[in-house]
A = this chain, B = another copy of it.
Amino acid sequence: MLILVSYDVSTESAAGRRRLRRVAKVCLNYGQRVQKSVFECKVNLAQMEILKAELLDEIDEEEDSLRIYRISEPLDKNLMEFGKFKAVDFEDTLIV
């Protein structure tokens, strides 16, 4: 399934900046960054649970906000993207 991981981590403190880096690092293991604090990840149920647990280990629930959405598929019918970044289509043929 396709999920969107979106987070707001306060960068006012060094600890917050460190959390921000670690949250991004976790997400990179599961998918691609499409905006500064937004990742698209392709996961199964088991991977979802592990990703969730890893992210909850990194954020400070008193300070930060984490949202994980399930996105309707196929993505190309349910996403409009404009501007600077164009995401890589997981399903597209990979030209090597």
Give 1 or 0 for each of A6-34: 1 = CB within 8 Å of chain B CB: 11100000000000000000000000001
Inside 8 A of A8's CB, which chain B residues have their CB?
35-36, 83-85
Task: Tell me if A35 and B61 are in contact (CB < 8 A).
Answer: no
Given contacts A4-B4, A6-B6, contact A67 B38 (CB under 8 A): yes
Please name all residues of chain B whose beta carbon is closer than 8 Å to the beta carbon of A67 when the two chains form the complex.
Answer: 34-35, 38, 79-82
Number of interface residues of A (CB under 8 A): 35
Residue numbers in B under 8 Å from A68 (CB-CB): 79-81
Give the shortest distance, in Å, between A73 (CB) and chain B (any CB).
9
- Which B-chain residue is minimally distant from A68 (CB atoms)? B80
